[in-house]
């Protein structure tokens, strides 16, 4: 049986919700380890979470979701690396469903999906956020090698070997990290499974719809460019010769400006 590690990126989380979620993850997944990557915690939060059956890595600045997950994955030594958003929008049982295809070798990357026809949505986002999300998914399907219903759901799992291959191609510190992970995995021809999940919108989420959509749109174009480079596209190779090259997340130190 493959070992499983779960990273929970958390920025100013609802402590009661997170505590319940960690216990539920323990019950449904029986993971070898759970690691909470805690950004800019308020006073007393770190000590409260320290009582949980999880490792808590607290940093004083807000790194961004992608940077936090990357740091967590780099700290794990398990065969399967998974993450789940701290607000519990995807219940622990569905996180287990996402982990299963990677755990049993059917996929290298498993992507939770709220937009899959078989997904169960318990409460919806606002109409504006739904349209923005649907439009982004439509565009991503046309620009990337991965044909999915949903690219941004906060529930994914990846095999250790696939992570080793994609980690050096990840640059996005914020919410756009998800789309980049999928894009790089697809460009490197890893097997991707889309898994329908149960999902419930959390209105108290720290995601800002407008700024996040702008961030993701820019990141989507960058992800397409980098994925084309991995496939030796001559046009994108020429473009790369005349553009600057950012530093991968795995090679960066903490940056308080990364949101």
Taking residues 184-206, what's their average pLDDT?
A: 87
**In this structure, what token pair is assigned to residue 110?**
């498993």
pLDDT at 255: 44
**In this structure, what token pair is assigned to residue 168?**
């050096």
CATH number attached to the domain at 4-247: 3.90.550.10
Parse the chain into domains and list their residue ranges: 4-247
**89 — pLDDT class (breaks 50, 70, 90):** very high
% of the chain surpassing 90 pLDDT: 75
Inform me whether the pLDDT recorded for 257 exceeds 60: no
Whether the full predicted model's pTM is greater than 0.85, yes or no, is yes
**In this structure, what token pair is assigned to residue 197?**
């999940």
The partner residues of 36 in beta bridges, in order of sequence, read: 8, 56
Return d(Cα 39, Cα 71) in angstroms, integer: 12
**242 — pLDDT class (breaks 50, 70, 90):** confident
Taking residues 146-160, what's their average pLDDT?
A: 95
pLDDT at 258: 38
pLDDT for 12-39, tens place per residue?
999 999 999 999 999 999 999 999 999 9
């Amino acid at each position: 049986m493959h070992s499983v590690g779960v990273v929970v990126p958390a920025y100013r989380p609802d402590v009661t919700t997170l505590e319940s979620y960690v216990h539920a993850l323990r019950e449904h997944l029986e993971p070898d380890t759970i690691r909470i990557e805690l950004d800019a915690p308020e006073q007393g939060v770190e000590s409260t979470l320290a009582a949980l059956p999880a490792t808590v890595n607290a940093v004083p600045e807000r790194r961004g979701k992608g940077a936090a997950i990357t740091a967590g994955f780099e700290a794990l030594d398990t065969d399967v690396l998974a993450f789940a958003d701290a607000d519990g929008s995807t219940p622990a049982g569905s996180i287990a469903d996402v982990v299963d295809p990677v755990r049993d070798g059917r996929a290298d990357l498993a992507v939770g999906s709220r937009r899959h026809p078989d997904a169960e949505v318990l409460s919806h986002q606002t109409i504006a956020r739904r349209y923005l999300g649907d439009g982004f998914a439509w565009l991503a399907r046309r620009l990337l090698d991965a044909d999915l219903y949903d690219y941004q759901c906060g529930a994914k799992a990846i095999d250790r070997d696939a992570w080793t291959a994609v980690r050096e191609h990840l640059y996005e510190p914020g919410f756009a990290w998800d789309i980049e992970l999928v894009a790089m995995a697809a460009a490197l021809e890893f097997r991707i499974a889309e898994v329908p999940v149960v999902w419930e919108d959390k209105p108290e989420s720290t995601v800002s719809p407008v700024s996040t959509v702008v961030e993701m749109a820019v990141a989507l174009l960058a992800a397409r460019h980098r994925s084309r480079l991995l496939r030796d596209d001559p046009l994108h190779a020429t473009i790369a010769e005349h553009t600057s090259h950012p530093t991968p997340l795995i090679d960066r130190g903490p940056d308080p400006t990364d949101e």
